[in-house]
Amino acid sequence: MTAPAADRSYATDAGLLARVLVPYKEHCKYLKSAEVLAGPEHTSVRCAFAIAESCYIDDTGHLNSVEANIAYNQMMYYLVAKSVREGLLPALRDWTLDDFWHHQLPDILLTRFAGTFRRPVDPRSFSGELAFRSVTRREPAGGKPFLHAETAYRYWDADGGRCDGEATLAFVNVS
* Structural domains in the chain plus CATH codes: 8-171 (3.10.129.30)
pLDDT for 5 equals 56
Cα–Cα dist 171/151, whole Å: 13
Cα–Cα dist 152/44, whole Å: 9
3 DSSP 8-state letter:
P
Q: What is the dihedral of CA 115, 118, 124, 128, to 10 degrees?
A: -50
pLDDT for 2 equals 53
Mind listing the pLDDT tens digit of every residue in the chain (175 residues)? 555 556 899 999 999 999 999 999 999 999 999 999 998 878 999 999 999 988 888 878 899 999 999 999 999 999 999 999 999 999 999 999 999 999 999 999 999 999 999 999 999 999 999 999 999 999 999 889 999 999 999 999 999 999 999 999 999 998 7
pLDDT for 116 equals 97
